[in-house]
Structure 1
């Protein structure tokens, strides 16, 4: 009786397993789970949760909506407003703010100074007000106010680098005046919301204060990057073919990981010398291709974070940052499916980003022989586990 019961049990398990394993997704490939753990979206409105989620896209993709804000990789443009009008200028970007938004940038860095003419209003300069004149902060933020109003599923992040320690009242007045304050996410949240929740709650603007507590401690809507973001040290060059990913042992209590990833040069502007600040456009294309994801993987394995959240870059538009980020976030390129971003893997082995990148650029969308072989091996292992459990129980 015991022996026959076992065979009935094994037959049922095998049948169920075969049924599940033979199901495919829309592309005809075996369904696999995404590496990032997705959070459940809590929705309080008249529509059903399932109906609303099926309609929802966040920053252009359904797949992002169930990820928490701190589970997403963003390219963050350094001195986002500082456009290089020619190859000889000191600007950090090729694209205007509007063009960056159109190209998929969703995190922006603004060095803020007092207006050099009035010493009052928040003003944008790079590297200081002896260099590029970015105009009033209000003018640039108005671009985001218009974008957020017209793109109701987009989440934007702004980092305020408050160089002259301008007070909260002056900053808040600007956000109120242009209509951005109502979109800001509260800094009192214990757990970061999913992007879907941020869209549904219409809290689609996250504002961080760089390197200080002056603004964040005086408001309920500005987040402290000092408290929340582990910023790795800037390393200009590869050392022994790897990036240095210090500081070490500082992960605890942080929600985000940021890597400064850009090439710099030294230079003199109006008699002032700048070290490791001015952008190096000649190296930007290489920095924004393979070295971009190499830097991420070199540092990710040295820290406990689920992903690298912010990559601070120059000259967005050169290289392949947008497509690499799609892969990092588990999203398909145009014409490709999620399947193409899954590497060949064994249990408990971290994803290999090189394989992900190579698969993403391959025109062959059929499952690889090695992947099918491993899937078969995993099914056999599962059946053996059930067999061992049965023997142990009886």
Structure 2
């Protein structure tokens, strides 16, 4: 999912190291030492226009767990001309464009508001680096998309670093009405009992208008808020700290399982690449067109997808990518779902 999960991956020292490195990078950039904007000698990286999802109609009657969806890593953290194409951004286009283009899983990080309000902010690791707005606005964007696309299902995945517990999450869902649109597993299928064959079909979810599936990385209490699901009871993820094209793996990394066992749960395949400067890792935009390519070369999404499909003996459920508009991510999704 994300190396910036404060609850499981980084300690306080790492947070200050990240912040220090970010400031240092900005100073070097402003002095002309390196190019923050990762472009061809231009202030504008000219991001490619997003492609479009190619749905496979036959899968409408298949289970949610039987198909592949493209997801965006740190979906709300967007590089724009207004923020100087910030290297804290993982995408070039906002969540509304992502959804219209075909992204069906949105991953983001929820933080307590540093200004002291009760609202949850979506920030990239630290709100001083990039504050991408409120959770409520994010959920309203999703709700608007669902209202205008009544046959679609959207998955939300949040890294939860909120200090105030679950109530701010519940309030945001209540205020936006997204709690009423959320899928709730049967009580006897919680706590790791939900297997792939237990998920409903897309058609069934649409028929009852339960078209949002939300996972929290930590802090979930399904007795209190049954629509906010404990990620690790339903999903496993592959390794995420990838800095070289030959490091992509398919084995479950979180949670870990003995040997090469593949559990009967939803699979999230992390496929994004980091660059590094003075020990500071940041999203590698320069290589994104290759990272997200549909080909069969090492490091390309197409190769990684086929390898994981073979290892799982079924379709991987989610591919989490940076800069979704680069490369051919929807061609990969279509290839997984069509065959």
TM over 0.5: yes
1:322 lines up with 2:326 in the alignment = no
What is the Cα deviation at residue 306 of structure 1?
Answer: 1.5
* Mapped partners of 1:305, 1:137: distance in 2: 36
* Mapped partners of 2:201, 2:70: distance in 1: 18
1:115 lines up with 2:113 in the alignment = yes
Q: 2:140 aligns with which of 127, 137, 142?
A: 142
Counterpart residue number, 1:126? 124
* Mapped partners of 1:127, 1:60: distance in 2: 33
Q: 1:94 aligns with which of 87, 92, 95?
A: 92
What is the Cα deviation at residue 219 of structure 1?
Answer: 2.0
Structure number with the bigger relative contact order (C-alpha 8 A, sep ≥ 6) is: 2
1:263 lines up with 2:270 in the alignment = no
What is the Cα deviation at residue 140 of structure 1?
Answer: 1.3
Give deviations 1:318-346, integer Å, cap 9, x for gaps: 1111122112111xxxxxxxxxx6xxxxx
* Mapped partners of 1:59, 1:148: distance in 2: 18
Q: 1:237 aligns with which of 237, 241, 244?
A: 244
SS at the partner of 2:65?
helix
* Mapped partners of 2:320, 2:229: distance in 1: 18
Comparing 225-234 and 58-67, the one that deviates more: 58-67
SS at the partner of 2:141?
helix
* Mapped partners of 1:202, 1:187: distance in 2: 14
SS at the partner of 1:134?
strand
1:204 lines up with 2:211 in the alignment = yes
Give deviations 1:226-278, integer Å, cap 9, x for gaps: 12111111233244xx733334646454411111111112358xxxx644xx2
SS at the partner of 2:289?
helix
Q: 1:74 to 1:166 in 2, by over 3 A?
A: farther
SS at the partner of 1:317?
coil
* Mapped partners of 1:221, 1:149: distance in 2: 19
Counterpart residue number, 1:375? none
* Mapped partners of 1:157, 1:318: distance in 2: 21
Between Structure 1 and Structure 2, which shows a larger proportion of helix residues? Answer: 1
SS at the partner of 2:136?
helix
Structure 1, unpaired ranges of 5+: 1-57, 331-340, 342-394
SS at the partner of 1:65?
helix
* Mapped partners of 2:65, 2:163: distance in 1: 27
Q: 1:166 to 1:288 in 2, by over 3 A?
A: farther
1:297 lines up with 2:306 in the alignment = yes
* Mapped partners of 1:238, 1:143: distance in 2: 34
Q: 1:117 to 1:222 in 2, by over 3 A?
A: same
What is the Cα deviation at residue 218 of structure 1?
Answer: 3.6
* Mapped partners of 2:143, 2:250: distance in 1: 36
Q: Please say which structure displays the higher CA radius of gyration.
A: 1
Q: 1:292 to 1:98 in 2, by over 3 A?
A: same
Counterpart residue number, 1:312? 320
Q: Over the residues paired in the alignment, what is the CA RMSD in angstroms?
A: 2.3
Structure 2, unpaired ranges of 5+: 1-52
* Mapped partners of 2:107, 2:277: distance in 1: 22
SS at the partner of 1:301?
helix
1:283 lines up with 2:287 in the alignment = yes
Give deviations 1:275-315, integer Å, cap 9, x for gaps: 4xx2110011101102101112223333x351111111000
Kindly tell me the number of residue pairs found equivalent between the two proteins: 264
Counterpart residue number, 1:381? none
Native 8 Å contact 2:220 2:228 kept in 1: no
What is the Cα deviation at residue 131 of structure 1?
Answer: 0.9
